[in-house]
Amino acid sequence: MLKIFLPLTVITLSVLIGINSCSLDNSSKETNKKELTKSTKIITEEEIPYQDSLDEEIEPITAPKEKIVQKNTIYSEIESLLEKADELTTPKNYKKALIIYDEIIKKLENRNEVELLKNLSSAYFFKAYIFKNYLQNEERAIESYNKVIEKFENSKKEELLTLYYNAQILKAYLLGSNESIDIYDEIINKFKNFKSTNLLKKFASAQFAKSHLLKNEDKIEIYDEIIDRFKNSTDKELLKELSTAQFAKAYLVNDCFQNRQDAIDVYDEIIERFKPYEKDGFRQEVTDALFAKSFLLMGDYNQESMEIFDEIIDRCKSCQEGAITQDFEYSVINNIELALITNCDDTKYRDLAKEHLSQLEDTEPQLEMLAILRNAQDLNQDEAMQKWKNQYKDFHFENWSFEELKKWNNRMEDSEQRKRIKSYLDEFISHSSIENDKSIHTS
C-alpha cells in the first residue's frame, strides 16, 4: 500500500519558506558567501513590550519610491557605499567592509526615510554576517541584530516591522532552544493581532518554528492556536497557513499519538473548509486530505477507502494535462491492492494502470507484485516470483506499507493458501528490507 508522507513535507516546507523569506532588501549584490545572512530566517525575540493597540491598522507597505540616482544625494551615496562594502565583504577584506558599514550606520542612524532605514538595517545585517562567519564572534553578531530590533520594534510601518522580525529570526538562530522559544513567543504576541497578511504570516512562521523545539504533546497547542487564528479568514495566503497547521496536527495525532479517528476528523475539517476554494488554488489540499483520510480508513473501512480513492482518481482525471500525478498513481495502485484484499474485481484499476502508468519506472514492479499475490491464491507462483526478483533486483519499495497485505494473509482460512502467499509476501518484504539497507550504506 502506497502512502504519501504529506504532513511532514507540508510543515517542513512552511518553516523553510518562513526562513527563506528573511532577506536584505537593499543589497545590490548577492554572493554565495552572504546567502546565509540574506536568506536565513531565524526567530528571535528581545524584551519587547506588548502593545494594547496591536489590533490597530498599521501603515501598509507601499511600492518603493524610485531610487534617486543623481549625484551628490544621500541615496546615491549610500548605494555606492553599499556596493563598495559588498565587494569588500570577503575573508581578505572584511575589515575594510566593516569600516564602510559603520560609516553607513553613522550617516543613517538619525534618518527617518523608510528606504534609508532599510539600508541602515542592511549595514547591520552584513556586519552581523562578518562577525559570525569571519570572526566567529556570535556575541557581536547578536549586538548588530539587537540594533535593528531596538530601532524598529515599536514601528507602525510594515516594512520596518519586517526588518525587526528578520533581525529577531537571525538572532534566534544563534541562541539555544529556550532563548529561541522566548523570541518566538515575543514575535507571536507582537504580531498575532495585526491585520496585515504579511505580519500574520510571520506570526504563523514563528509558531511553526517554535513547534519544532517542543515535545509532541505541546505541538498540538501550537497548531490549534494557528487554526483558531485563521479559521474564519478568507485571505488565501492565511488559508495556506491554516491548512499547513491542520495537516501537521493530523499527522501528529495519528503517527505520534495513534489516534486515528481524531486524525480523520481533522482531514474531514480540511476537506470541508477548502472545497469551496478549490478553484482558488486549494484543490491539492482537498486531494491530499482525501488521500490521507482514505489511507487511515484502510483495514476497518476498506470499502469507504476505495470509494475515496475512486474520487481522487476522478478528480485527477478531470484535470489531467499529460503528466500523471502521484495522487492518481497511488490511488490506482492502492485500489488494486484493496480489490485484492476485499476480493473485488480489479479490472477497472488494472486497465487504468495499463493506460496511464505503464511508462512509470517504479509502477510496474508494484503491479506485478500484486498480480503474483492475486494469482498465488490459486496457483504456485515460484517461477513468476523468481522472474520478478531477477528483473527488479534493484527496485526499492519506497513509501510502501505491507501492513494491510499481512493482515489479509493472516485472515485466510485455507492453511495451504495462507502458507503459499505468506512465502511470497515474505520475499517481497525481505527484498524491500535489503534495498533499504543498500540505500543506507550507499547514501
The pTM (predicted TM-score) of the whole model is: 0.79
Share of the chain above pLDDT 90, in %: 71
Tell me: pLDDT of 24 over 80: no
Q: What is the pLDDT of residues 274-290, one digit of tens each?
A: 999 998 899 999 999 99
Tens digit of each residue's pLDDT (9 = 90 or more) over 221-280: 999 999 999 999 999 999 999 999 999 999 999 989 899 999 999 999 999 999 999 988
Least confident of 59-73, 160-174, 340-354: 59-73
Nearest to 231 by CA among 286, 282, 273: 273
Q: Is the pLDDT higher at 149 or at 38? A: 149
CA angle 47, 51, 57 (to 5 degrees): 130
**Taking a C-beta distance cutoff of 8 angstroms, is the pair 404, 411 a contact?**
no
Categorize the per-residue pLDDT at 431 as very low, low, confident or very high, splitting at 50, 70 and 90: confident
Asked whether the beta carbons of 412 and 418 are under 8 A apart, the reply is: yes
